[in-house]
């Protein structure tokens, strides 16, 4: 199969397929005499695997590890579960970080008058400035 067909069947753009090939995430494609890449059904399955793992937020590095486990007949499910648990912990950390960001924004939005005055605690905070409430709000 040529790269366009593989892209269509796997849901992975051709540019991304070339990138995955260049970093060794998928094997180097065979080439025709004219230099066109040729892939097989196994490549489509591998790209679908990668696409699903990336969709779950796994890094390219972690996907490489997962692919190694997928192809290792001697793997244990405990190894796979440990990777998934570490990834879930990272997602939980990011969620907590996002909640903190939202709380900060909620506070700043509440502090901003949102009127015709130029004073804006949101911009002050982004600039690292602290203002005493009411001092210049007159």
CATH classification code of 1-73: 1.10.1660.10
Per-residue pLDDT of the chain (138 residues; tens, 9 = 90+): 999 999 999 999 999 999 999 999 999 998 989 988 899 999 999 999 999 999 999 999 999 999 999 999 999 999 999 999 999 999 999 999 999 999 999 999 999 999 999 999 999 999 998 665 554 554
State the CB neighbour count (10 A cutoff) for residue 19.
Answer: 14
Extents of the domains making up the chain: 1-73, 76-138
φ/ψ (deg, to 5) at 4: -65, -40
Contact 100, 91 (CB under 8 A): no
Query: 7 burial class (0-12, 13-18, 19+ CB within 10 angstroms)?
Result: buried
Q: Give the CA radius of gyration of the chain.
A: 25
Give the Cα separation of 57 and 59 in Å (integer).
6
The whole model's pTM is what?
A: 0.78
């Amino acid at each position: 199969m040529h790269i366009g067909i593989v892209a269509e069947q796997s849901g992975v753009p051709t540019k991304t397929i070339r990138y995955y090939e260049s970093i060794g995430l998928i094997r180097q494609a065979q080439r025709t005499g004219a230099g066109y890449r040729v892939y097989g059904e196994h490549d489509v399955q591998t790209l679908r695997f990668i696409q699903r793992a990336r969709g779950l937020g796994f890094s390219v590095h972690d996907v490489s590890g997962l692919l190694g486990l997928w192809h290792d007949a001697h793997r244990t499910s405990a190894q796979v579960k440990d990777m998934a648990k570490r990834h879930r912990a990272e997602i939980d950390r990011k969620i907590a970080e996002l909640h903190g960001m939202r709380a900060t924004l909620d506070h700043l939005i509440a502090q901003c008058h949102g009127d015709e005055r130029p004073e804006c605690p949101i911009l002050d905070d982004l600039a690292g400035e602290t203002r005493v409430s009411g001092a210049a709000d007159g």
